[in-house]
Structure 1
Amino acid sequence: MRANYIYNFSYVSNENESYFTYLVNDPSIISGFVMDISGQIQQLSWKESAKQWNLFWSQPRTQCEVYAFCGPFGICNQQSLPFCSCLKGFQVTSSDSWNLSDFSAGCARKTSLQCGNDSLANGKRDKFWEMPNMKLPDHPQTVAVGSSSECESTCLNNCFCTAYAYGDHCSIWIGDLLNLQQLTSADTNGGTLYLKLAASELSSKEITVGIVLVRDFQL
């Protein structure tokens, strides 16, 4: 919206009304703004020679910056196609929507959490899955604790806590995780997220061990 742009912008705000308008400087330019299912607002211009619309400008600049683009418990990765995938221990909520590139319904947990009830799942408590180099989810809650182990324990003992992170302070997340993004190894702005999962989601494969007993007979 700088001066001498393709459009002349005008914003009016007073005690009676507030509105925004724009007029095209060059009437030969066919252009418009669109917001589609991607969540981005896009400015398109018509290229007559190619008989197609060209993307001129978009905001947010990348899909992973669109709020809740991958839905609850979805993880966005700008380096992969499709951009969205489900966190470990979760599965797609709506396959039909997902196949149409509508990821907003997100993912659902495969196995319910133990949630402090040691009588279930063979008495195994919930565990945490380490996820390094992540753009952490929105809406964290800060907890006053003195160590990472205390932070972990706080989340583990709260049935509504779904993840935690410990850096300069302890952050926990209650309920859905939104806007989680996998960063590249070159991006140093990430943190490590610890995702709470049912113990069965993290258990190693069972190994059956056979024991042969040899009895020493005396003649």
Structure 2
Amino acid sequence: MNMIVTPSSSATPNGTTRPQVRIVIVGHVDHGKSTLVGRLLHETGSLPDGKLDMLKAVSARRGMPFEWSFLLDALQTERDQGITIDTTQIRFRTNSRDIVLIDAPGHAEFLRNMITGASQADGAVLIIDALEGVRDQTRRHGYLLHLLGVKQVAIVVNKMDRVDFSAERFNAISDEISAHLSGLGVKPTAVIPISARDG
């Protein structure tokens, strides 16, 4: 996805500045936002040493299966309930820029927290569960991105493993959400099928 980078930049140790891109991850509750970000941090080698092992050990002690979302859901309540309550900002670097991922809550009760996170973003990833499809909260998040002026939106259709990687299901979701966003004046920059949990 080609991102238009805003002029905001961050200082590096040698005093130079680097472009910074802020991307908010939004979508309906339990569609895999935190799982996607946790997986991305793991895949890019951006996790602090020992963080993954520590959370796996905590999960084992509590008798819970490890979830990638645990890397982000810092509050014990979030891990217990399996939902994101507050926004989490995760920073990592590429060769050319600094990236700030903003993991926003999907639950309707925490819509204010989602708006706070999205209001700071240059772009967004709108995530949709392949089995559940486009929900009211998905549409609401798309509308709020439009209201906040976030025009660079990529769509991620997650949990494709739950629909046997069906191209027909993917295309139906892609068409539905693209039509919704286009009606708001937002043209998705990409629509991508994934399975965040399994990589």
Greater per-residue helix proportion: 2
Larger Rg computed on CA atoms: 1
The question of a shared fold, defined as TM-score above 0.5 by the shorter chain, is answered with no
The structure richer in strand per residue is 1
TM-score range, shorter chain: under 0.3
